[in-house]
Amino acid sequence: MNDAMAPALSRDPRSEDPNAKRLRGFGPQGIFAVLVILAGSLLAPLGAVLVLVWVKYSHTPWREIGYVRPRSWMRGAMVGIGFGVALKVLMKMIVMPLLGADPINHAYHYLAGNPAVAVAFVPELIIKAGFGEETLFRGYMFERLGKLFGRSLGAKVVTVLLTSVLFGALHYHDQGLAGAQQATVVGLVFGTIFAATGRIWMLMCAHAAFDLAALAIIYWNLESTIAHLVFK
């Protein structure tokens, strides 16, 4: 077979559907889809569910939003969990004190020693953070901005910065400046990894572990202790 013919022969014919093309584009239909998905993100994980609907009807390859089968589901999960917990401790112990943040997360301090409410948060953190926020902010937003800006190194840097700032801004309403700062830094870390790997499974596990570690630190009232381990 002629190599030049291979891409044309392997292309999914459904991708040539006019409606699918419009959903993938940046005309009225494509922009409307972006706005609906972003609005849905306010009711997490609705935004991520809408992303999956968009992928299906736009005939976008799943790999474009990072949904790539990992070489090992278990290894990816373990690496993600370990990385997420370590990142949370590092943020609490070094990064946030350097930014002058209050050691106590007052928005969620009511969870300290409150097992009934804390346990109820667990599935929400796994679904909202691990699945919802990663699918939206890393998978979908990177696909859209990648189509808009291109795939060069400079374009990827811009994409990481824009998605991180947006991710941080959406945490301001309930966690204030410190929450927005933390989310922005985490977005930079996760975004850089996603830009380099194009794979989302490990990041889903890391994000869920990060938030669950934050919940555990609050529940056991360890915020001040960890925040003052390095900076007294």
In tens, the pLDDT along 67-124 reads: 999 999 999 999 999 999 999 999 999 999 999 999 999 999 999 999 999 999 999 8
- In 59-171, alpha helices (H): 73-90, 96-98, 115-124, 141-149, 153-169
Q: What is the pLDDT of residues 111-135, one digit of tens each?
A: 999 999 999 999 989 999 999 999 9
- CB neighbours (10 Å) of residue 47? 22
Cis peptide before 45 (omega within 30 of 0): yes
Q: Residues of 170-206 as b/e, b for ≥16 C-beta within 10 angstroms?
A: bbeeebeebbbbbbbbbbbbbbebbbeebbbbbbbbb
Delimit the domains of the chain by residue range.
1-60, 70-227
pLDDT range class, residue 12, cuts 50, 70, 90: low
Which residue shows structure tokens 């292309």?
11
Tokens of 186: 């985490």
Global pTM reads: 0.91
One-letter identity of residue 22: R
